[in-house]
Structure 1
């Protein structure tokens, strides 16, 4: 009887302790200090968009990468970074494989049907890049009858796929489009102006930008649908890094004194 009573007592004590336990650890649980543990933010990035995203020696760097890391730090989130092709980012958001995507993604009404966007963080536009010795292309009207290299799935691709009289070559990597221009397989590259400028700055002084910007575009951080709390966190974090000087420091680091793309705050 004493052994039975002891066994029943141990069982009751075990159940009581189990009921008082914290359970399995989750990304939003509190640590020993009482502070909330960082939430894991699954971020998708296309690393072929320098200086916003690039990969060197297995390390992913760039303006967008540092910006999302700064936002995550402000909002007590830690980053889980996944790299993928640009055209795979929005499908990955739709399936929930990632929570947000950064890749110099232009905010468009069509994309808003599939994902949400943060407040704008960079103002951009498309520009035309040609060889320096090219005298026949001086603006968009001169592209008729020419071969234009673009990156697959970008706003340049969408624009020129509907433009009659232009032969469009599509590449998954913008560096391949630039190579096509260099080897004579394309007459021009149409792509985001800051990336074209970066290409010129990084040792390619045999090319030039001609004509005005073809578009005025704002970049935003793409956020999966049905996640209003996450969207609010991203926007709150973005406001904080803009207010405390972090944004300005990153802008100076990656773009120097170029004023065109900076979002005023």
Structure 2
């Protein structure tokens, strides 16, 4: 039911699941053990836990939509998640390239620049970037950000969008929570970031608002080490099965 509610919220915010869903199982930082089989493959998964509601850490447990999704895929495809490593977003792709992890989940936007370094699963979530600002800021859209201080998270699509839009006064933080803190303290005039995460923050902060509509449309995918095309096939197969059997709606 928790995932169904997330899906309903996603539709309301102009974001949708793409080609798959997930069931109502819970996630944790304990390894997921699939059915016993001699063909079982053990994998290490990396996640950035500063991306709620997709990844977050509560009471020492890593939870969120992406964590539940990769656990469900593991069960379907007879994969064993032997280790779940948390790290900053900027460390995910280097860790995959170095062979330190096999898979990364963190609401990672599928981009050509990243596809040269890692493989991506089929898209599983359609999102976009939005502007979050104080309710009385006078900011109404992207053009109003010129000359303002804008906060966002390092290494993300938001940085690319701001650069292309000629927004130069950008504060880049290791975590999106730090960007939100800058907005709250007056150290930034706006936060430009993934819309679902902005909405999640807005729910508990009545002094902020989202303005200007979505600035871009983008798709999230599961990143996989390029040296393991077989694993990529299994993840895509798991996504397809979840779509076809309606597991997400259970």
Please classify the TM superposition score into its range, dividing by the shorter chain length: 0.7 to 0.9
Q: 1:16-27 maps to which residues of 2 (within 5 A)? A: none
Name the residue aligned to 1:217: 218
Name the residue aligned to 1:119: 122
Distance 1:248 1:154, change over 3 A: farther
Tell me whether 1:240 sits opposite 2:241 in the alignment: yes
Asked if 2 retains the 8 angstrom alpha-carbon contact of 1:125 and 1:193, the reply is yes
Asked if 2 retains the 8 angstrom alpha-carbon contact of 1:44 and 1:83, the reply is yes
Asked if 2 retains the 8 angstrom alpha-carbon contact of 1:47 and 1:53, the reply is yes
After TM superposition, the runs of 4+ consecutive aligned structure 1 residues lying more than 4 A away are: none
Q: 1:43-192 maps to which residues of 2 (within 5 A)? A: 43-79=45-81, 80-135=83-138, 137-192=139-194
Which secondary structure does the structure 1 equivalent of 2:131 belong to? strand
State the alpha-carbon separation in 2 of the partners of residues 230 and 189 from structure 1: 36
Higher RCO (C-alpha 8 Å, min separation 6): 2
Distance 1:37 1:210, change over 3 A: same
Which secondary structure does the structure 2 equivalent of 1:103 belong to? strand
> Structure 1 length normalisation: TM-score?
0.78
- Cα offset, 1:85, TM superposition: 0.5
Name the residue aligned to 2:12: none
- Flag the structure with larger Rg: 1
> Which runs of 5 or more structure 2 residues have no equivalent in the other structure?
1-34
Distance 1:221 1:91, change over 3 A: same
> Structure 2 length normalisation: TM-score?
0.82
Q: 1:36-47 maps to which residues of 2 (within 5 A)? A: 36=38, 38-47=40-49
- Cα offset, 1:247, TM superposition: 2.9
> Which runs of 5 or more structure 1 residues have no equivalent in the other structure?
1-29, 250-265
The two structures, once aligned, show a CA RMSD in angstroms of: 1.5
Q: Quick check: which one's strand share is greater?
A: 2
Distance 1:248 1:168, change over 3 A: farther
